[in-house]
Chains A and B, each alone.
Chain A
Amino acid sequence: MESLSDTKWDVVISGTGLQQSLLALALSRSGKNILHVDPNEYYGEAEAVLSLQEVDEWAARRQSGDGDGVFASAKVTRSDDAESLSPRGYSLALAPQLIHTRSELLSKLVSSKAFRQLEFLAVGSFYIFQPSSTASSSSSSSSTTTTPSLSRIPSTREDVFANTTISVKAKRGLMKFLKFVLDYTSEPQTDVWKPHAGDSLASFLAAEFKLDADLQAYIITLTLSLDGNISTEAGLAAIHRHISSMGVFGPGFAAVYPKWGGLSEIAQVGCRAGAVGGAVYMLGVGIKDVQKASSTAEMPEALDIVLSNDMPIKSKTLVKGLGKPPRESRRLSRLTAIVNSDLPSLFEAVSEGPTPAVAVVAVPAGTRLGDDGSSTEYPIYAMAHSSDTGECPRGQCILYLSTIASPDAPALLEKALSSLLASLAVEGQESPKSLYKVYYEQTGFDTPSVDVDGQSAVFSLLPLDLAFNDAVLDPVRKAWDLVMPNVTDEEAAEYLVFTDREGADAEDELDN
Chain B
Amino acid sequence: MAEAPKPSSSVKLVLLGEAAVGKSSLVLRFVNNDFQENKEPTIGAAFLTQKCNLPTRTIKFEIWDTAGQERFASLAPMYYRNAQAALVVYDITKPTSLVKARHWVAELQRQASPGIVIALVGNKLDLAGESQGASEEAEGEDGGDARKVSTEEAQSYAEEESLLFFETSAKTGHNVTEVFTAIANAIPETSLKSARGPGAAGNANRAGDEQRVNLSGPRDAGAKDGCAC
Chain A residues in 8 Å Cβ range of B69: 275, 280-281
Which chain A residues in 200-255 approach chain B with CB under 8 Å?
243-244, 246-251, 253
Residue contact A115 to B213, C-beta cutoff 8 Å: no
B95–chain A nearest beta-carbon distance, Å = 23
Residue contact B229 to A43, C-beta cutoff 8 Å: no
Chain A residues in 8 Å Cβ range of B129: none
**A422: CB under 8 A from chain B?**
no
B99–chain A nearest beta-carbon distance, Å = 21
**B77: CB under 8 A from chain A?**
yes
Given the complex of chains A and B, what is the CA–CA distance between A121 and B74 in angstroms? 28
**A42: CB under 8 A from chain B?**
yes
Residue contact A88 to B215, C-beta cutoff 8 Å: no
Chain B residues in 8 Å Cβ range of A268: 78, 81
Residue contact A248 to B223, C-beta cutoff 8 Å: yes
Q: Which of B47, B114, B198 contacts A88 (CB 8 A)?
A: B114
**A156: CB under 8 A from chain B?**
yes
Given the complex of chains A and B, what is the CA–CA distance between A218 and B45 in angstroms? 47
Residue contact B47 to A272, C-beta cutoff 8 Å: yes
Looking at B10, B50, B81, B219, the one whose CB has the most chain A CB atoms below 10 A away is B81
A157 in contact with B229 given A120-B212, A121-B211, A506-B49 (CB within 8 Å): yes
Which chain A residues in 258-294 approach chain B with CB under 8 Å?
259-260, 268, 271-272, 274-284
Residue contact A388 to B229, C-beta cutoff 8 Å: no
**B54: CB under 8 A from chain A?**
no
**B113: CB under 8 A from chain A?**
yes
Chain A residues in 8 Å Cβ range of B114: 86, 88-89
Total of A-B residue pairs, C-beta within 8 Å: 153
B12–chain A nearest beta-carbon distance, Å = 9
A275 in contact with B45 given A88-B114, A243-B229, A246-B226 (CB within 8 Å): yes
Given the complex of chains A and B, what is the CA–CA distance between A505 and B48 in angstroms? 8
Which chain B residues in 171-229 approach chain A with CB under 8 Å?
193-194, 197-198, 207-208, 210-217, 219, 222-223, 225-229
A449–chain B nearest beta-carbon distance, Å = 28
Closest to B190 in A: A394
What bracket does the count of chain B residues touching chain A fall in? Answer: 35 or more
A510 in contact with B228 given A43-B77, A275-B75 (CB within 8 Å): no
Looking at A43, A157, A259, A276, the one whose CB has the most chain B CB atoms below 10 A away is A276
Chain B residues in 8 Å Cβ range of A117: 47, 62
B30-57 contact mask (Cβ, 8 Å, vs A): 1 or 0: 0110000000000111111111000000
Closest to A183 in B: B229
Chain A residues in 8 Å Cβ range of B217: 249
B15–chain A nearest beta-carbon distance, Å = 13
Given the complex of chains A and B, what is the CA–CA distance between A110 and B213 in angstroms? 13
Which chain B residues in 133-153 approach chain A with CB under 8 Å?
none
Closest to B31 in A: A503
A251–chain B nearest beta-carbon distance, Å = 5
A276 in contact with B78 given A178-B229, A246-B228, A354-B212 (CB within 8 Å): no
**A67: CB under 8 A from chain B?**
no
**A487: CB under 8 A from chain B?**
no
Q: Which of A42, A121, A274, A504 contacts B213 (CB 8 A)?
A: A121
Residue contact B49 to A507, C-beta cutoff 8 Å: yes
Given the complex of chains A and B, what is the CA–CA distance between A67 and B112 in angstroms? 28
Closest to B43 in A: A278
Given A157-B229, A501-B47, list of 19 further CB < 8 A pairs? A1-B68, A117-B47, A117-B62, A119-B194, A246-B226, A247-B223, A248-B219, A248-B222, A248-B226, A250-B213, A260-B82, A268-B81, A271-B78, A276-B45, A278-B44, A280-B44, A280-B72, A388-B211, A503-B31
Q: What are 18 pairs between A and B in contact, CB < 8 Å?
A: A88-B112, A89-B113, A115-B216, A119-B212, A121-B211, A157-B229, A158-B228, A246-B226, A246-B227, A247-B226, A260-B81, A278-B43, A278-B44, A282-B72, A283-B74, A388-B211, A503-B46, A503-B47
Spell out A's residues near B (CB within 8 Å): 1, 41-43, 86, 88-89, 101-102, 106, 109-110, 115, 117, 119-122, 155-158, 178-179, 182, 243-244, 246-251, 253, 256, 259-260, 268, 271-272, 274-284, 354-357, 388, 390, 501, 503-507, 510-511
Identify the 9 closest CB pairs spanning chains A and B, nearest first: A247-B226, A156-B228, A506-B49, A246-B228, A503-B48, A120-B213, A275-B45, A283-B74, A275-B44
